[in-house]
Amino acid sequence: MGSLKNKEEELEPVVEEAILYVNGIRKVLPDGLAHMTLLEYLRDIGLTGTKLGCGEGGCGACTVMVSHYDKNLKKCMHYAINACLAPLYSVEGMHVITVEGVGNRRHGLHPIQESLAQSHGSQCGFCTPGFIMSMYALLRSCQTPPSEELIEECLAGNLCRCTGYRPIVDAFRVFAKTNDVLYTDSSLSLQGGDSICPSTGKPCSCGSKSLSDRDTNKQSVTCGDRYEPVSYSEVDGSRYTDKELIFPPELLLRKSTYLKLSGFGGLKWYRPLRLQQVLELKMKYSDAKLLVGNTEDDGLEIGSAVKLSELLNFLRRIVKERGVDETYSCKAFIEQLKWFAGTQIKNVASVGGNICTASPISDLNPLWMAAGAKFQIINCKGNIRTVLAENFFLGYRKVDLTQGEILLSVFLPWTRSFEFVKEFKQAHRRDDDIALVNAGMRVHLEEKGEKWVISDASIVYGGVAPLSLSALKTKEFLIGKCWNQELLQDALKILQKDIIIKEDAPGGMVEFRKSLTLSFFFKFFLWVSHQMDGKKSVESIGLSHLSAIQSFHRPPVIGSQDYEVIKHGTAVGSPEVHLSARLQVTGEAEYTDDVPIPPSGLHAALILSRKAHARILSIDDSEAKASPGFAGIFLAKDVPGDNKIGPVVVDEELFATEFVTCVGQVIGVVVGDTHENAKLAARKVHIDYEELPAILSIQDAINAKSFHPNTEKCLGKGNVDLCFQSGQCDKILEGEVQVGGQEHFYLEPNSSLIWTMDCGNEVHMISSTQAPQKHQKYIAHVLDLPMSKVVCKTKRIGGGFGGKETRSAFLAAAASVPSYLLNRPVKITLDRDIDMMITGQRHSFLGKYKVGFTNEGKVLALDLEIYN
Amino acid sequence: MGSLKNKEEELEPVVEEAILYVNGIRKVLPDGLAHMTLLEYLRDIGLTGTKLGCGEGGCGACTVMVSHYDKNLKKCMHYAINACLAPLYSVEGMHVITVEGVGNRRHGLHPIQESLAQSHGSQCGFCTPGFIMSMYALLRSCQTPPSEELIEECLAGNLCRCTGYRPIVDAFRVFAKTNDVLYTDSSLSLQGGDSICPSTGKPCSCGSKSLSDRDTNKQSVTCGDRYEPVSYSEVDGSRYTDKELIFPPELLLRKSTYLKLSGFGGLKWYRPLRLQQVLELKMKYSDAKLLVGNTEDDGLEIGSAVKLSELLNFLRRIVKERGVDETYSCKAFIEQLKWFAGTQIKNVASVGGNICTASPISDLNPLWMAAGAKFQIINCKGNIRTVLAENFFLGYRKVDLTQGEILLSVFLPWTRSFEFVKEFKQAHRRDDDIALVNAGMRVHLEEKGEKWVISDASIVYGGVAPLSLSALKTKEFLIGKCWNQELLQDALKILQKDIIIKEDAPGGMVEFRKSLTLSFFFKFFLWVSHQMDGKKSVESIGLSHLSAIQSFHRPPVIGSQDYEVIKHGTAVGSPEVHLSARLQVTGEAEYTDDVPIPPSGLHAALILSRKAHARILSIDDSEAKASPGFAGIFLAKDVPGDNKIGPVVVDEELFATEFVTCVGQVIGVVVGDTHENAKLAARKVHIDYEELPAILSIQDAINAKSFHPNTEKCLGKGNVDLCFQSGQCDKILEGEVQVGGQEHFYLEPNSSLIWTMDCGNEVHMISSTQAPQKHQKYIAHVLDLPMSKVVCKTKRIGGGFGGKETRSAFLAAAASVPSYLLNRPVKITLDRDIDMMITGQRHSFLGKYKVGFTNEGKVLALDLEIYN
């Protein structure tokens, strides 16, 4: 640690200017923005090609590429990340490339963009820039063309609701190394195995040059503060690489700096350079969150700050280098990480962060526990202690770390001979989804005489309890037992009682999850048996069971579409690229939230009911009014026209007056100078409720005979009553079908920008809606204006699927009240969670059926009752 | 002066916070805005009801009311002023009321507004807020209803191009004290002589209360930083006065503060409180401009900083108080001030400023000279010297003031018995216009024996030379002569040689102006003779000459319009108030320049030819590019599409390439962050020309046989050649008629706001034009876009009169180039001088006619040639 003076210098280092390059342009980051995400920053500086889809790294619409120079590897590293999750300061000293930096119509599209447009890979277009950026980051990271599998893997963090993915994968497959691809454009074809240029996706000779060599040909042109992308317009020849945005020379030379910055609400942002700085900060701010790497003889020492994508790549290398027996744990981690999350998340999430957040549904924690990992914990005095992973998790989101302690590193031991570790996970969707149940399992077998006896075991589940749970009784049972069919049957019985999922456990589907815990063990038994196949006294598993132990492997998706192109000189019947495609792949297409809010514009946030059914007793807005940036609050009493609205029947209130009938019902609207300030103020509106009885399910409603008019639907076919009563039919089948409510999940959340003209004589809006005329009608109604004075425009929407009809008009009507009364532009853009909570869904259904038929299968009578 | 310490305190006083109230809202004025006008400030804070028409106080569209508390008079003074001329800091500590503060549609119109709308007093509406404010300031200044004359006088500084004024005067006449008015609305009638409420224009009992009493009922409501006008919606009862915007209590108590502020480009703004401070500042900044009140026994001592409106009111009082003989000079000043300028100008222009600016066409300086006024001049040491007015003016805009000296006061002596002073002025328009020729004349007659002999005289002319000019030879001739007809004839002969106007004198109309110098003296002779009427040996003037000596008096304008209203249940044929009237009288109607410029918006300024005909040799933009706020320069080479445009024939260049053919031809466009910065940078573009011969008049063009195709028009009626040659007609009359070019003078200068959507895929604009479709066509043409991608909207225009057809499209096309290429919103709004210089006019015409007719007057042949 050196002398005291040195120590002080380390702890209070010189804070340098915080900088960032965006699309080749140097930006100085002012202090005070620690609360801001990279996405907010990018959109604020006018780069609206990067979209806000979900705000939680789930959809990939916000994907950008981040590059930094790795001094150890001596090369530039390129990562796709979710800009919605990245704190702005986390990319300090890096180069961010957005879709605007990849190519545009005026200076030429990038081959990735061109191919996606040509292959009909964009429909609503809202997810499109994110797909471009994931693919772009992959190509810039590869020295040789990537495999098709790698391309699909890099897209796992990107959702598309329109295309069904086939045209997207088709568009990007041309950049893969195999040559048995479906070429959509002959100019984009390439020979298998050729070196592909990361700039163009085409074979060229630049691959041999090091990136930094290529980067020194500076090409970006600045015009004032604006970015002029380099030109890709010449699509042939070897000059491609000169057209790529280079890594900024300043960043090649720059040392990482100590950062000490602040943000709204007293937020502080530190980027310590040394462990001691981290520990001192942790001592000072013990509740602070840490936002973030060695091989030993006994196993792997993995730094807490190692990114999951680094871990994955490292494990893949280790598996190749080391003996098969030693790396069962490594392979289990590789498999689990494959389905863990999108690439964008793995590129920023750290090993330590994933552990310490202690999610009860963590995919990795059961594996750490089962694999016998050890966690190294350090405190501010530098003392290190070691805890077994299986003892680290203490309860819901609670771990064995005291104030001032941090997780320093993880030790993952090599597996011994006849020690097997396996991962399990079941989710709704294979890629990038939360597990229903997951597990990590390990057994160590020892040959004792003629038999293979279990000398050690660990069976750990996730998703079954508030924390990752060891099946301790099962473990106890297993140790010392012989590895055979009898063991399996007995163990399953014990396991059933060992892992109990309560009937009302969060997440539901309890029966299914219970069966998963058992079947995972069954699969583990089969898999271990298969590994031991041929060893004496180990029973071979039947051929019929072999499929159960294979890792899931999805071959690259190939789809084909057959249609006849009838040439008659017009576009009709011909597979034309749609007119917005080139705007969408370049991020140039403007969606509602991309339209700049005029000066003096305000942002709206809704005041929402937190009760399912209640009487509003009082509304206290005093705290909201004192909130920073507050500009106004508007309730039912402030509505200039009629507070009652509806598409056909006027049966709904714009702002609830006396009663609320669902959580998320709109009670009023608050406007503020920023989106964040408006939300903050809206949350500070305190409402006193008198709670009233609520009916929360269809069955409850049927029981209470609480029906909406015209919602009960009965279908009868045949002489129903007679048939069922008279015994005409040989057999009667009856039952129920339940379908849950379904979110439309348009990629673009609801958004409207509303402004007045001539001081409220006219109201204009741009709205993301399927029903501009309903906007006109609703807003004229609530503002008491003639419809001729209300204008709604919709240039395009980022998906609607029926979810942006009446509901978008309702939201715009709420925001029109402050805009009209204050004569200021008001923007309302819903966060994804609010959008899902309040806009309604495709209803849930309960169907009851009764069918009478003959032994021959002829249906004689059908009775169907549908409730929704 | 007290001790040194006191002196220092006086010279470096504490600078307090600079404040301003606007429509009842307190505004803190930051430092750095000394370059800004009140109009710019008001429009920047969103109060766009106040319009920029001419930018030089000539049209009144920018009229606002300024109120301050006069500690001497112990009352609030209300003035209408031109916001376009008022430096922002000049209204520090005052209350500014704009049209937005008078009334609006939501909270109720003010009776002035209601009456103007009801009387069809607005058409294009651009001048309308200015008329409202002039009338409002008058009513708030009057304790009793004003006379019709006073109402017309208060409107002299407001121009309207559409209405012909009659409906405006009709609308405001209802507020006058006479009761023989044309009531347009029975609810607005009032009894003659009743006390009128300044708030409502209706009789009420509030008149007796002092203003400060009434002002203490604070009524203005604030919502955030925005102004909520008080309500006028209840139009009956005595509660009106509670609804008027009060004078802010803070300003009632506040002492005037020393100001020391700065502005762009090193500008400094001082408001000294004491003369010594002024002198010290003048010493320090000897080139600085001073922007700004006693009766003695011998005459009037008038402070240099006295406003002209104060001088006018004061002189009117003096004339009532003092003997007739003493106040001939005073009366001459009163008459001259009446036609001097609009009320808005007189409310801010100072006596000293008007003198020292030494305009050769000054209306007052010839009078000061003729009246024998003396100017007191002080230097920074406090030394005072006195100069006779007639010796003060040394040359063009040059006066007898050394560095560090200022004009302290003016001494105007009382006239003696038989001393007569008279003013003269002839202009194109009676009110508020620059004189063609003006004059001040004085004679002092003494009885010598039987005759009246001239003992002293002074004959001074303006508008005939680079400075106000004394007719010294005439004066010399007059002194000692008898006052009779002979004198007149001889004096006229001398005067003709004494005052010489050169043939090429600026302003033209030399013959007319020469005759004016003589006829003024003739009128003076008649007038003095009439004053002396009845004195022995003075010849009476004939009855036929009496009209020449009467002061011009225009009776209040009364017009009437007869039409039959046929009631058939629809608006057709019925005198309906047009739909925008209420928007226009409240300033709520948005014109193009009122639309807020979106964030990242730029302002455009044109690079103009300074040569009539020249070849462009080189263009140097280096200095422009280094200019503050510069964002881009665009010349012909940058035009994405075709640089050649035209409405029918493509015969014009958007940006001149090789040749310019008129002064003001557009060579390119510069964009900057502000309007001022864009203009500054455009002026810094240096162009080298090779000058080419220019044809500057129609006659020169005819001589050079330089004709545009199809511009020579000949009309013949009858067998022209035969008739003129054969002598068929008894008489032949031939001659020429010349009509000069005529400016359209739409009140609203040309203005367009252009922006792109989807990164240039579409171009949108709001434009003040009579021809939106031509905008679409021109811009599609110069940007090489399909017309379907160009959208032009025109909600309303502030007058066009044919001047906003092709020319407005041309200007928008120029501004579309930077908007498209930078993908940023660009606003172009022309200053009035530029608008008049470059947009073309109604052509000048030269007509040559030859008519042959019989003695009976029957026209046999007509030959007409028209050139334009």
With a CB cutoff of 8 Å and minimum separation 6, the contacts of A636 are A643, A653, A654, A655, A656, A657, A668
For residue A432, the model assigns a pLDDT of 77
Over residues B287-346, the pLDDT tens digits come to 666 655 445 578 888 888 888 988 998 899 889 888 889 999 999 999 999 887 888 888
Indicate whether A12 pLDDT > 80. no
- The single residue listed with the structure tokens 């002074």 is B458
8 Å CB contact of B597 and A599: yes
How far B759 CA sits from the closest chain A CA (Å)?
A: 5
Selected for mutation to probe chain B from A759, A820, A822 (highest B CB count within 10 Å) is A759
How far A132 CA sits from the closest chain B CA (Å)?
A: 18
Indicate whether B861 pLDDT > 70. yes
For residue B326, the model assigns a pLDDT of 92
For residue B224, the model assigns a pLDDT of 31
* Average pLDDT of the residues in A588-607: 95
Residue A703, H or E segment: helix A698-703
The ranges assigned to domains in chain A are 17-253, 272-549, 592-693+744-838
Provide the CATH number for the domain formed by A592-693+744-838 in this structure: 3.90.1170.50
Q: Which of B105, B588, B600 sits opposite A596 (nearest CB)?
A: B600
8 Å CB contact of B596 and A596: no
Indicate the DSSP class of residue A761.
Answer: T
Q: Which residues of B touch A757 (CB under 8 A)?
A: 590, 795
pLDDT, mean over chain A? 85
In B, minimum Cα distance to A796 occurs at B758
With a CB cutoff of 8 Å and minimum separation 6, the contacts of B434 are B361, B427
In A, minimum Cα distance to B585 occurs at A758
For residue B292, the model assigns a pLDDT of 53
B716 or B230, higher pLDDT: B716
Q: Which of B223, B596, B761 sits opposite A598 (nearest CB)?
A: B596
Provide the CATH number for the domain formed by A17-253 in this structure: 3.10.20.30
> Mean pLDDT lowest for which of A207-216, B126-135, B500-509?
A207-216
> Mean pLDDT lowest for which of A634-648, B45-59, B174-188?
B174-188
Nearest in space to A747 (alpha carbons), one of A129, A163, A61: A61
Domain with residues B274-537, CATH architecture: 2-Layer Sandwich (3.30)
For residue B269, the model assigns a pLDDT of 86
Q: In the CATH hierarchy, which top-level class contains the domain B4-253?
A: alpha beta
Q: Residue A796 — very low, low, confident or very high, per pLDDT cuts 50/70/90?
A: very high
For residue A542, the model assigns a pLDDT of 81
* Average pLDDT of the residues in B751-758: 97
Q: Residue A13 — very low, low, confident or very high, per pLDDT cuts 50/70/90?
A: low
Burial of B314 (0-12, 13-18, 19+ CB in 10 A): middle
- The half-sphere exposure of A827 on its side-chain side, counting CA atoms within 13 A, is 21
For residue B178, the model assigns a pLDDT of 59
Residue B80, H or E segment: strand B75-82
Selected for mutation to probe chain B from A634, A758, A762 (highest B CB count within 10 Å) is A758
Over residues B67-84, the pLDDT tens digits come to 988 888 888 889 999 999
Nearest in space to B428 (alpha carbons), one of B339, B504, B546, B366: B339
For residue B630, the model assigns a pLDDT of 97
For residue B231, the model assigns a pLDDT of 32
> With the C-alpha atoms ordered A337, A338, A344, A345, is the resulting torsion angle positive or negative?
negative
* Average pLDDT of the residues in B456-462: 95
For residue B243, the model assigns a pLDDT of 65
For residue B570, the model assigns a pLDDT of 81
Selected for mutation to probe chain B from A677, A761, A766 (highest B CB count within 10 Å) is A761
8 Å CB contact of A599 and B598: yes
Over residues A233-274, the pLDDT tens digits come to 222 222 333 467 888 888 888 888 888 888 887 888 888 888
- A340-349, A535-544, A592-601 — most confident range: A592-601
> Mean pLDDT lowest for which of A146-160, A609-623, A699-713?
A699-713
Q: Which of B104, B106, B600 sits opposite A46 (nearest CB)?
A: B600
Indicate whether A193 pLDDT > 70. no
> Mean pLDDT lowest for which of A168-182, B1-15, B772-786?
B1-15
Between CA B868 and CA B863 the distance in angstroms is 17
For residue B398, the model assigns a pLDDT of 92
Q: Which residues of A touch B755 (CB under 8 A)?
A: none
Indicate whether A803 pLDDT > 80. yes
Q: Which of A589, A757, A760 sits opposite B106 (nearest CB)?
A: A760
- A177-181, A262-266, A283-287 — most confident range: A262-266
Q: Which of B588, B759, B761 sits opposite A758 (nearest CB)?
A: B588
Number of A/B CB contacts below 8 angstroms equals 68
How distant, in Å, are the alpha carbons of A335, A336, A548, A551, B130 from that of A423? Answer: 7, 6, 13, 10, 80
How far B77 CA sits from the closest chain A CA (Å)?
A: 30
How distant, in Å, are the alpha carbons of A2, B112, B286, B349, B357 from that of B401? Answer: 77, 47, 11, 20, 12
* Average pLDDT of the residues in A352-361: 90
For residue A599, the model assigns a pLDDT of 83
* Average pLDDT of the residues in A462-471: 92
Indicate whether B239 pLDDT > 80. no
> Mean pLDDT lowest for which of A543-547, A616-620, B836-840?
A543-547
Q: Which residues of A touch B598 (CB under 8 A)?
A: 596, 598-599
* Average pLDDT of the residues in A199-215: 37
- A207-221, A292-306, A527-541 — most confident range: A527-541
8 Å CB contact of B586 and A105: no
In B, minimum Cα distance to A759 occurs at B588
Q: Which of B583, B596, B759 sits opposite A599 (nearest CB)?
A: B596
- The single residue listed with the structure tokens 């112990």 is B74
Over residues B397-407, the pLDDT tens digits come to 999 998 878 89
What pTM does this model have?
0.82
In B, minimum Cα distance to A584 occurs at B758
Q: Which residues of A touch B589 (CB under 8 A)?
A: 758
Between CA A759 and CA B312 the distance in angstroms is 40
Q: Residue B14 — very low, low, confident or very high, per pLDDT cuts 50/70/90?
A: low
Q: Identify whether the C-beta of residue B441 lies closer than 8 Å to the C-beta of residue B469.
A: no
For residue A271, the model assigns a pLDDT of 86
Q: Which two tokens stand for residue A387?
A: 């805890």
Selected for mutation to probe chain A from B43, B106, B627, B759 (highest A CB count within 10 Å) is B759
For residue A190, the model assigns a pLDDT of 34
Over residues B652-684, the pLDDT tens digits come to 999 999 999 999 999 999 999 999 999 999 999
8 Å CB contact of B631 and A105: no
Indicate whether B389 pLDDT > 70. yes
- On the question of a common fold for A17-253 and A272-549, the answer reads no
* Average pLDDT of the residues in B177-203: 41
Domain with residues A272-549, CATH architecture: 2-Layer Sandwich (3.30)
In B, minimum Cα distance to A585 occurs at B758
Task: Give chain A's contact residues with B (Cβ, < 8 Å).
Answer: 46, 104-106, 223-224, 226, 583, 586, 588-590, 596-600, 630-632, 757-761, 795, 822, 824
For residue A243, the model assigns a pLDDT of 65
How distant, in Å, are the alpha carbons of A329, A336, A419, A440 from that of A326? Answer: 8, 18, 9, 17
Q: Which residues of B touch A596 (CB under 8 A)?
A: 598-600
Over residues A743-794, the pLDDT tens digits come to 999 999 999 999 999 999 999 999 999 999 999 999 999 999 999 999 999 9
Indicate whether B808 pLDDT > 50. yes
Indicate whether B187 pLDDT > 70. no
* Average pLDDT of the residues in A834-838: 94
Pairing assessment for the beta strands A859-867 and A790-793 based on DSSP bridges: unpaired
Over residues B418-441, the pLDDT tens digits come to 999 999 999 988 777 889 999 999
Task: Give chain B's contact residues with A (Cβ, < 8 Å).
Answer: 46, 104-106, 223-224, 226, 583, 586, 588-590, 596-600, 631-632, 757-761, 795, 822, 824
Between CA B96 and CA B107 the distance in angstroms is 20
Q: Identify whether the C-beta of residue B847 lies closer than 8 Å to the C-beta of residue B866.
A: yes
HEC sequence for A427-447? ECCCCCCCEEEEEEEEEEEEE
Selected for mutation to probe chain A from B23, B627, B758, B824 (highest A CB count within 10 Å) is B758
> Mean pLDDT lowest for which of A21-30, A99-108, A139-148?
A139-148
For residue B8, the model assigns a pLDDT of 44
Nearest in space to B246 (alpha carbons), one of B209, B207, B223, B219: B219
Q: Which of B104, B590, B598 sits opposite A757 (nearest CB)?
A: B590
8 Å CB contact of B105 and A761: yes
